[in-house]
A and B are shown apart, each in its own frame.
Chain A
Amino acid sequence: DAGVTQSPTHLIKTRGQQVTLRCSPISGHKSVSWYQQVLGQGPQFIFQYYEKEERGRGNFPDRFSARQFPNYSSELNVNALLLGDSALYLCASSLQGPQGGYTFGSGTRLTVV
């Protein structure tokens, strides 16, 4: 079985641009969450979706948005990119819903120049 897959793996964007990151959860997993990880820090929680509804939101500005589709895949959108948005963006899925441990994808490395 495929694990959590994220695309693209690497991305370079210019300040002010918009970006969309994609995530396909493990088959059968209905819960997806997104994290931002900068070098030397632990992942920071951005969003959690379960059964296509937002169930949790971290302390990120409104420039960050996400959605989950009927097939449980998810997109993370970031508008008006800032240099500080450069990071590894991780998606994770869980079979057990919000209370379960998550399996992470290998991430999308976003560089904003």
Chain B
Amino acid sequence: RKEVEQDPGPFNVPEGATVAFNCTYSNSASQSFFWYRQDCRKEPKLLMSVYSSGNEDGRFTAQLNRASQYISLLIRDSKLSDSATYLCVVNMFSTGNQFYFGTGTSLTVIP
């Protein structure tokens, strides 16, 4: 089983739609959680950290469910510029730090 699993999509949604991505992780000892955005042939950019209490940044809301070992990202009022690949990242500390990326979920927002 992969450490982090994501539905690769693609998700094709109209402008203004609300879309949600989920990501599951296998190790309950995981400590830090993040969502990154990656545009085609570019480096990943940090979108937001994810906390158990949930956190919001404008149109973006991230949630962490430790009991079920999943994190989610909700995008409201989708814009064309939101089209990208969204990567979830889990940091687990065991014998050292281990950072695991999901394979990414592709989003295309259609006019």
Interface size on B, residues (CB 8 A): 22
Are A103 and B101 closer than 8 Å at their CB atoms? no
B97 CB-CB contact with A under 8 Å = yes
* CB-CB nearest in chain A for B2: A42
Question: Do A104 and B96 contact each other (CB < 8 Å), given the known contacts A44-B101, A99-B32?
Answer: no
Given contacts A90-B44, A102-B46, A105-B43, contact A48 B96 (CB under 8 A): yes
Evaluate contact between A48 and B102: CB separation under 8 angstroms: no
Contact-residue bracket for chain A: 20 to 34
Q: A41-B104, A45-B98 are in contact. List 15 more A-B contacts (CB 8 A).
A: A35-B101, A42-B87, A42-B101, A42-B103, A43-B87, A48-B97, A56-B97, A56-B98, A100-B32, A101-B34, A102-B46, A104-B43, A104-B45, A105-B43, A106-B42
